[in-house]
Amino acid sequence: MEVYHNLQRIYYKGKVEADRTQERFLTGWLNRVQRKEEYLKDWDKENVGTENKKYSFTQSSLDKMKMYIQN
């Protein structure tokens, strides 16, 4: 999940770089990702062992991440 949350952060930062009028929303977006990340970490600890978890991303999501990293 850490990778997914980092993808979200990259996406939001890229959105602001592409359109500075969105900058006023960045703090809220990043706070929302952080709160969700903390909630899911706590949920994992309480409900499910993590040793057998697998996460996957669509190729389009990975391509978007690559695009934002390169820019």
Region 44-67: mean pLDDT is 66
Q: Three-state SS string across 13-61, please? A: HHHHHHCHHHHHHHHHHHHHHHHHHHHHHHHHHHHCCCCCCCCCCCHHH
Q: Does 54 have pLDDT greater than 70?
A: no
pLDDT-derived band at 62, boundaries 50, 70, 90:
confident
Is 8 in contact with 18 (CB distance < 8 Å)? Answer: no
Which residue reads 């930062």 in tokens? 13
Q: Does 70 have pLDDT greater than 60?
A: yes
The more confidently predicted of residues 19 and 65 is: 19
pLDDT of residue 71: 57
